[in-house]
Amino acid sequence: MIFTPGALLAKQFDMIFLGNHWYAPLQDLLAAVSAEEAIRRPSQGGHTIYELLHHLMYSAEEATRRLRGLPEQWDESRSWVETPASLTAEAWSESIERYAEVRRTFRETAVSLGDEAFLLGANPERPAPYDLVQNLLHHEAFHAGQIAYVRRLHGREPIL
């Protein structure tokens, strides 16, 4: 079996979101969160699951822009949205679906670059595509762990 950069990255995308045998897939974690839980701030402080999801969404959108060769537009104030006072189940479901679509677009954009593009070195103004994708994957896994932890702080059983 030949391992190419694109194939390895695609596999990692799928492991984080769709599943693997080491930890709960992000897709399952999000599906197990109710709208009420999504906006409940942990009593210990920190981000709500709603905020974490929207931060992941914004990060994936920005990374997609960069992979497409567009200039960086990172705006920290847009990276972390404010949790609404109330949230319907429908609105929460739409947020999850939108995130799944944003991440699917990022995955498709990354894989479509082709293996040779991943192997190109970075220029001084932007990281190499491979590094950008790896950074986003690690970022996503980190926040998936936070979502799992916040669920536990809310008294929910772990998802395996």
Instruction: Indicate if the pLDDT at residue 121 is higher than 70.
Output: no
User: Would you place residue 13 in the very low, low, confident or very high pLDDT band (cuts 50, 70, 90)?
Assistant: confident
Is 38 a member of any domain?
Answer: yes
Is 158 a member of any domain?
Answer: no
Which pTM value belongs to this model?
0.90
Domain around 109: 5-153
Q: Using H for helix, E for strand and C for coil, what is the string for 76-137?
A: HHHHCCCCCCCCCHHHHHHHHHHHHHHHHHHHHHHHHCCHHHHHCCCECCECCHHHHHHHHH
Is 118 a member of any domain?
Answer: yes
Find out whether 135 and 11 touch, Cβ atoms under 8 Å: no
Is 72 a member of any domain?
Answer: yes
Unique residue bearing structure tokens 């944003």: 102
Say how far apart CA 30 and CA 18 lie, in whole Å.
11
Find out whether 138 and 15 touch, Cβ atoms under 8 Å: no
Structure confidence by residue, pLDDT tens digits, 41-85: 998 889 999 999 999 999 999 999 998 988 888 888 889 999 999
The domain that holds 18 is classified in CATH as: 1.20.120.450
Is 100 a member of any domain?
Answer: yes
Burial of 118 (0-12, 13-18, 19+ CB in 10 A): buried
CA distances from 154 to 29, 74, 92, 150 (A): 13, 31, 17, 6
Domains contained in the chain, number: 1
The reported pLDDT for the residue numbered 123 is 65
| pLDDT greater at residue 134 or residue 127 | 134
Is 160 a member of any domain?
Answer: no
Is 159 a member of any domain?
Answer: no
The reported pLDDT for the residue numbered 46 is 92
